[in-house]
Structure 1
Amino acid sequence: MTLETPHALGILKLERGVPLGATPPTPPRGSMLNPASFDFPVVYETVEGAWVENVVRGDPALESAFIAAARRLVERGAVAISSTCGFSIRHQAAVAASVNVPVGMSSLLLLPALLRQLPPLAKLAVLTYDSNFCGEDLLGLDDPNERARVVIGGIEGGKFWHDELKRPAPPTDVAAVEADVASCLARLRDAHPQIAVILFECAAFPIVAPAIRRIARLPVYDIVGLCRQMMASVP
């Protein structure tokens, strides 16, 4: 078999509602949907039927579509697999079991390791697209002491939140994302001054990671960083 793109990162992307034959606008640098965000090849497969709304809410019927798309990515040359939505961590185990390459569906996989890097009294802020659905089942923390050190804030109700629910989704408004994320973080820090590190659940947030690092003067981790780590580790 001739691989389409050897040694590539495979990215599972959600439906965007772009009409057949239409050319979608190029997402900003830092986006998982922009190949220029990486210094290695990337290949994409759309997960059939996976829209922001049902992935965020956790539709178990999507699992077979995630698996099928992941297998197509491996056939096309992917040596590691990720996704464009952190809530797809619900399908992490199933996808990882279905392919023979490393799988990192969500930056939330970093959560246990990041907590161990911090002093015992420090807290970690998870910034998410929608905090109503970023529940205990996504965090992977069994120790109640560790869970107590994690605070969660979301941008639900903001402009980007509304935009992503549209079909088709409009071009990403970077200024709106930055404003929503910065406002959410400010609220969390007012309530939890012990926050020492930030983890972006949302795979769209890396486009504003440099700005949030400057504003917060704190480390910021995201899915793009996890993808770079995976790709640096594979032969």
Structure 2
Amino acid sequence: MADMIARGGRAIYGVSLGILMLEARFPRIPGDMGNAETWPFPVQLCVVEGATPERIVLGDPRDQLDRFVKAGRRLIELGVSAITTNCGFLALLQPQLANALAVPVATSSLMQVPWVNATLPPGRRAGIVTVCAAALTPAHLAAVGAPADTPVAGTENGAEFFRVLIKADSDVMDIGLAEHDVVEAARTLVRQNPDIGAIVLECTNMPPYAAAVAAATGLPVYDIYSMVTWFVAGIRPRIFSRDYSRL
């Protein structure tokens, strides 16, 4: 019965990915990173108290570094094998969190920008749709190795998305208006930058609208869902059948 012995030492099992969550009240619909039903694998969510969307997007996330390190270490103690976050502006913390935590860390969808650029034909580059273009700085891009001149368009002039997520932190959101804001930002990005060959959605609340953005622009669209599913694929490689008799 030696092969029936189980060993413990952790509080949680079967959850490879931990997500460091901002403290917010707005609705998290399917596709949103903070809705656990979004993911095809189990996730462990951990709210970082005091790290509000307004403080992270419109302020300096580095002021909250200690809170994120503490919460990340707690997730590791619980048993996760990798950590991500639910705000693309936390790109600013990528080097520090990767250095401070003992598991792989992927803070931001923006990490995909150089990867996407590598896939595109000559003369084409990735562009970014973000919740707030005015707040996304070259420092955010530099922290994840993205070119400083990457084109960016934001939703801050829209009617719903930016208002609900950043300014009001409202518990009610008009999904149709939110989608319209994201799609219009993408259209503006492409119209102003004809060399755009693909779009990266910065905000982790944008995946519900990725298909609409792709339909409106005719371009590939990458978001936190595409990045995290890639990330976890390395943590939990698929086990293929060894029944070769079917070949």
TM-score normalized by the length of structure 2:
0.84
- Are the counterparts in 2 of residues 86 and 203 from structure 1 also a CA contact under 8 Å? yes
Opposite residue 157 of structure 2, the aligned amino acid is: G
> Quick one: percent identity of the two aligned structures?
31
Identify if the C-alpha distance between structure 1 residues 142 and 102 changes in structure 2 by more than 3 Å, giving closer, same or farther. closer
Larger displacement relative to structure 2 (219-228 or 51-60): 51-60
Deviations 1:130-159 (A, max 9, x none): 011111111128999x544x2100001331
TM-aligned CA deviation for residue 98 of structure 1: 1.9
Who is 2:151 aligned against?
151
* Partner residue in 2 for 1:6: 14
Tell me the equivalent position of 2:113. 111
- Map of 1:179 onto structure 2: 180
Residue identity matched to 1:9? L
Looking at structure 2, the residues matched to 35 and 142 of structure 1 have their Cα atoms a distance apart, in angstroms, of 26
In the alignment, which of 109, 112, 131 is matched to residue 129 of structure 1? Answer: 131
Is the contact made by 1:16 and 1:167 (CA closer than 8 Å) also made in structure 2? no
Of 172-181 and 191-200, the range deviating more from structure 2: 172-181
The residue that corresponds to 1:15 in the other structure is: 23
- Counterpart of 1:10 in structure 2: which amino acid? G
C-alpha contact 2:91 2:144 (8 A) present in aligned 1: no
Distance 1:172 1:42, change over 3 A: farther
Displacement of 1:9 in angstroms is 1.2
Aligned residue for 1:73? 75
The count of corresponding residues between Structure 1 and Structure 2 is 226
Kept in 2, the 8 Å contact 1:12–1:46? The answer is yes
Equivalents in 2 of 1:195, 1:141: separation in Å? 22
Give the RMSD, CA atoms, in angstroms: 2.2
Q: Which residue of 2 aligns with 1:20?
A: none
Specify whether residues 142 and 36 from structure 1 end up closer, same or farther in structure 2 by C-alpha distance, changes over 3 A only: closer
- Deviation track 1:92-141 (CA, whole Å, cap 9, x = no partner) reads 12211222211111011111121121123113210001011111111128
**Counterparts of 1:219 and 1:186 in 2: how far apart (Å)?**
13
User: What TM-score, normalized by structure 1, do the two folds share?
Assistant: 0.88
Query: 2:143, 2:24 → 1: CA distance?
Result: 32
Runs of 4+ in 1 over 4 A off after TM superposition: 141-144
